[in-house]
């Protein structure tokens, strides 16, 4: 039967002809399945595949014709906020979660809107970052799983209507079944994985809620199993915590995503730090399973192995990327591996089954704490291969080269602050934090191809690190509301309340005349954007913080309202180290795209990612920019990536790193693109909305194809 088509090669259109002609021997359903699987037409999973490999077999767009790419269609969601969605495309339909967590289905070939589901029609829930949805084929019916606030919804993929047999009339509250008292506000910004008749998800939790990974029945919404990422007394890992730890901490949850080895029934997850992020005096110990890569039996949730990549985290060094599953040739043998990157630009690679590292990992000493009562773990793990993908310390060779003024400024600040790498000693003095809080690697993830090459974008942004006391210099407490603000809010919004708007943390020094008390209280209780819900906070505490923000707190309000929960030290707030023009205060590059050969553990190539055209016009070599969102690699020899602060999407030659094509987007594309094929035509689509680095947000989809 195959002989007449032997000379057709791999041409996609001829393959379609072959499939259609043989449909006389197949049922319609089997024909459709053969066409889509053979052509790899869909992008049916978050990041392209359960392995999170961000890879596509499509090659219609390739290195020889990518320069001809043009806009095929655009679609404005009508929303304006962070738009980080990696879109799914199944059977010619594109499914997106908009900046306000509405779900929309579009014709993937034309961008025509087919239906919209708005969770606000069901629940009054606050927005949060959402990076995509999950898809499940339930017999002849497709299902979409999506989140908003603490609610998870199951939708009919054809109509967008709730599947009322799921949970309570189509939805479940994710705070249920966490094995903690009450019903905490649990959210989800990264889609989970579908395995058999279950969906497996992590969670975003507040710092006082212990994290967990759970599996739920896809038909009913009932919990099937739970793994406590913050172990309970008597469970493995509990001895890495001090006595009474569950009364003092939470977190250690999985928010950055998972990878699934479907054949083996293994699921891999990465976790964040335990709470509170920057003060560890009440949680001394290694703190398992915070900052770890964990392999679980996907059927039962049983831990098979784990590797902690940061011990006793005092620096908000969450493992920011989903694991990446691929196959390499190591010491002459094929090995299935799991690779994961860190905010420090380190890349750890393990045997997927045994958890053994491919190359030795060294425990190296770090600087001891400079604050009495705060202990830093004496060593941290460093892989011996591959080499770090970014500089590991700010030195006198890293003063800015943008201008003489910037060079002098960075020299002066370095002289006062110094740098101790990614693990600065806890101190009451300002220290340069480099590598910084946002990477290194970040939530966009890495792409990998069948040759064992991993492609990942990296930031090289310096920040400041400093702890400050929650009592005044004479030892007396601050007024109650200010003390609570320092303990609960300053990490994100800053001691000076200036916030970090570029990072999604608004300023709070100007709430008077801009907001009213009811709105502020609503955000404290329900959360929104990057802010979790503080629904556990007492009314008394909420009102004290609001009084402080509105300048209504009495200076002598130092009552014994302090119940002992306020830590003695808190983080002063996220603050980038910038020069006088607002550029990163370090010698470029500031953002790079990297190809790493995991067969040999070597860096194949590294190029700047992103450009400030005004600096290029001044004769400065391309610097790269801070970048958020990941790459996609294709069989056409291409890497597609947005991510940059210059609002462009680019295509690179995966063999050399040469940039072959770029196109301006209406907003920064701080998301991972998707690529798919409809009616024989390959498309690349990206969500654009200025998710991180611009004050004006949007919410547009832009799809590209060949003429």
Q: Per residue in 626-649, pLDDT tens? A: 999 999 999 999 999 999 999 999
Q: Regarding predicted confidence, which is higher, 248 or 69?
A: 69
What distance in Å separates the CA atoms of residue 577 and residue 574, rounded to the nearest whole number?
10
Alpha helices in 466-554 (DSSP H): 480-488, 490-493, 517-526, 539-549
Query: 563 falls in which pLDDT band (50, 70, 90)?
Result: low
User: What is the per-residue pLDDT for 387?
Assistant: 98
Q: Regarding predicted confidence, which is higher, 260 or 573?
A: 260
User: What is the per-residue pLDDT for 521?
Assistant: 80
User: What is the per-residue pLDDT for 529?
Assistant: 66
User: What is the per-residue pLDDT for 493?
Assistant: 86
Q: What is the mean pLDDT of residues 382-399?
A: 97
- Convert the pLDDT of each residue in 316-326 to its tens digit: 999 999 999 99
- Convert the pLDDT of each residue in 263-297 to its tens digit: 999 999 999 999 989 999 989 999 999 999 999 99
Query: 503 falls in which pLDDT band (50, 70, 90)?
Result: low
Predicted confidence (pLDDT) at residue 357 exceeds the cutoff of 60: yes
What distance in Å separates the CA atoms of residue 473 and residue 471, rounded to the nearest whole number?
7
Q: Regarding predicted confidence, which is higher, 549 or 18?
A: 549
Q: pTM of the predicted model, to two decimals?
A: 0.88
- The side-by-side arrangement of strands in the sheet containing 447-448 is 447-448, 453-459, 591-597, 602-608
Q: Under a CB-based contact definition with an 8 Å cutoff, are residues 535 and 455 in contact?
A: no
Q: Regarding predicted confidence, which is higher, 17 or 46?
A: 46
What distance in Å separates the CA atoms of residue 702 and residue 686, rounded to the nearest whole number?
6
Predicted confidence (pLDDT) at residue 16 exceeds the cutoff of 60: no
Spatial CA neighbour of 254 closest among 319, 195, 198, 301: 319
DSSP state of 471: B
Predicted confidence (pLDDT) at residue 12 exceeds the cutoff of 70: no
329 contacts: CB under 8 Å, gap ≥ 6: 335, 452, 599
- Convert the pLDDT of each residue in 422-456 to its tens digit: 999 999 999 999 999 998 999 999 999 999 999 99
What distance in Å separates the CA atoms of residue 100 and residue 516, rounded to the nearest whole number?
22
Judged by average pLDDT, the poorest of 57-66, 276-285, 532-541 is 532-541
3-class secondary structure, 227:
strand
Q: What is the mean pLDDT of the chain?
A: 90
Q: Regarding predicted confidence, which is higher, 481 or 411?
A: 411
User: What is the per-residue pLDDT for 530?
Assistant: 64
User: What is the per-residue pLDDT for 14?
Assistant: 41
Q: Regarding predicted confidence, which is higher, 24 or 385?
A: 385
User: What is the per-residue pLDDT for 3?
Assistant: 31
Angle at 300 between CA 238 and CA 51, to 5 degrees: 100
> Distance between alpha carbon 105 and the CA centroid of its chain, in Å?
24
Spatial CA neighbour of 526 closest among 201, 126, 133: 126
Predicted confidence (pLDDT) at residue 700 exceeds the cutoff of 50: yes
What distance in Å separates the CA atoms of residue 215 and residue 227, rounded to the nearest whole number?
9
User: What is the per-residue pLDDT for 473?
Assistant: 81
Could you please report the per-residue DSSP string of 641-690? E--BTT-EEEEEETTT--EEEEEE-SS---S--EEEEETTEEEEEEEES-
- Give me the numbers of helices (H) and strands (E) for the chain, helices first please: 8, 38
User: What is the per-residue pLDDT for 502?
Assistant: 59
Domains of the chain from N-terminus onward = 66-392+435-461+588-705 (2.140.10.10), 471-566 (1.10.760.10)
Q: Under a CB-based contact definition with an 8 Å cutoff, are residues 152 and 117 in contact?
A: no
Spatial CA neighbour of 376 closest among 251, 446, 279, 294: 279
- Convert the pLDDT of each residue in 332-346 to its tens digit: 999 999 999 999 999
- Convert the pLDDT of each residue in 576-632 to its tens digit: 999 999 999 999 999 999 999 999 999 999 999 999 999 999 999 999 999 999 999
User: What is the per-residue pLDDT for 23?
Assistant: 39
Alpha helices in 250-298 (DSSP H): none
Percent pLDDT > 70 in the chain is 91
What burial class does residue 438 get, using C-beta atoms within 10 Å of its C-beta: 0-12 exposed, 13-18 middle, 19+ buried? buried
User: What is the per-residue pLDDT for 196?
Assistant: 96
């Amino acid at each position: 039967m195959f002989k007449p088509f032997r000379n057709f090669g791999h041409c996609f259109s001829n393959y379609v002809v072959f499939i259609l002609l043989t449909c006389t021997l197949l049922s319609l359903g089997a024909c459709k399945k053969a066409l889509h699987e053979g052509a790899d037409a869909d992008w049916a999973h978050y990041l392209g595949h359960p392995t999170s490999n961000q890879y596509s077999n499509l090659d219609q767009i390739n290195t020889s014709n990518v320069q001809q790419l043009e806009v095929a269609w655009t679609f404005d969601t009508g929303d304006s906020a962070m738009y980080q969605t990696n879109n799914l495309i199944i059977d010619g339909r594109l499914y997106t979660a908009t900046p306000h967590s509405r779900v929309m289905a579009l014709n993937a070939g034309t961008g025509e809107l087919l239906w919209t589901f708005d969770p606000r029609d069901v629940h009054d829930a606050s927005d949060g970052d959402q990076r995509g949805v999950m898809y499940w084929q339930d017999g002849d019916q497709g299902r979409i799983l999506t989140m908003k606030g603490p609610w998870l919804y199951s939708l009919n993929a054809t109509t967008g209507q709730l599947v009322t047999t799921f949970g309570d009339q189509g939805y479940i509250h994710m705070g249920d079944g966490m094995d903690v008292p009450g019903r905490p506000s649990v959210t989800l910004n990264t889609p989970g994985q579908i395995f058999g008749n279950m969906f497996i998800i992590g969670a975003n939790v507040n710092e006082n809620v212990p994290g967990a990974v759970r599996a739920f029945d896809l038909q009913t919404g009932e919990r099937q199993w739970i793994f406590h990422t913050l172990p309970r007394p008597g469970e493995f890992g509990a001895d890495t915590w001090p006595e009474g730890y569950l009364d003092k901490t939470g977190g250690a949850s999985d928010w950055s995503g998972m990878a699934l080895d479907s054949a083996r029934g293994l699921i891999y997850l990465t976790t964040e730090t335990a709470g509170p992020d920057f003060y560890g005096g009440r949680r001394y110990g290694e703190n398992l399973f915070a900052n770890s890569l964990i392999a679980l039996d996907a059927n039962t949730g049983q831990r098979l192995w784990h590797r902690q990549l940061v011990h006793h985290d005092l620096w908000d060094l969450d493992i920011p990327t989903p694991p990446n599953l691929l196959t390499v040739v190591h010491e002459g043998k094929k090995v299935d591996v799991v690779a994961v990157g860190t905010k420090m630009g380190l890349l750890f690679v393990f045997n997927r089954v045994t958890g053994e590292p491919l190359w030795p990992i060294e425990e190296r000493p770090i600087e001891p704490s400079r604050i009495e009562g705060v202990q830093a773990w004496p060593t941290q793990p460093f892989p011996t291969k591959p080499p770090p993908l970014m500089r590991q310390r700010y030195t006198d060779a890293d003063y800015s080269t943008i201008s003489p003024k910037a060079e002098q400024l960075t020299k002066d600040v370095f002289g006062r602050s110094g740098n101790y790498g990614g693990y600065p000693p806890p101190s009451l003095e300002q220290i340069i934090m480099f590598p910084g809080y946002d990477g290194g690697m970040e939530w966009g993830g890495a792409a990998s191809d069948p040759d064992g090459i991993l492609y990942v974008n990296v930031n090289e942004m310096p920040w400041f690190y400093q702890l400050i006391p929650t009592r005044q210099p004479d030892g007396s407490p601050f007024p109650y509301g200010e003390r609570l603000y320092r303990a609960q809010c300053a990490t994100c919004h800053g001691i000076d309340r200036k916030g970090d708007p570029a990072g999604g943390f608004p300023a709070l020094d100007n709430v008077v005349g801009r907001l009213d008390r009811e709105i502020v209280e609503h955000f404290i209780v329900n959360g929104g954007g990057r802010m979790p819900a503080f629904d556990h906070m007492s009314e008394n505490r909420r009102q004290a913080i609001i009084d402080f923000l509105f300048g209504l707190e009495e200076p002598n309000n130092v009552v014994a309202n302090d119940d002992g929960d306020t830590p003695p030290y808190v983080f002063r707030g996220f603050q980038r180290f910038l020069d006088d023009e607002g550029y990163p205060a370090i010698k470029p590059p500031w953002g790079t795209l990297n190809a790493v050969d995991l067969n040999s553990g070597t860096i194949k190539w590294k190029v700047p990612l992103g450009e400030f055209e005004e600096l290029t016009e001044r004769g400065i070599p391309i610097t790269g920019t801070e970048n958020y969102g990941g790459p996609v690699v294709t069989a056409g020899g291409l890497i597609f990536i947005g991510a940059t602060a210059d609002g462009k999407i680019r295509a690179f030659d995966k063999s050399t790193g040469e940039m072959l094509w770029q196109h301006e987007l209406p907003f920064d594309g701080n998301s991972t693109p998707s690529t798919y094929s409809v009616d024989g035509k390959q498309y690349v689509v990206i969500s654009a909305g200025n998710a991180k680095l611009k004050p004006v947000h949007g919410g547009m989809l832009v799809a590209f194809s060949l003429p």
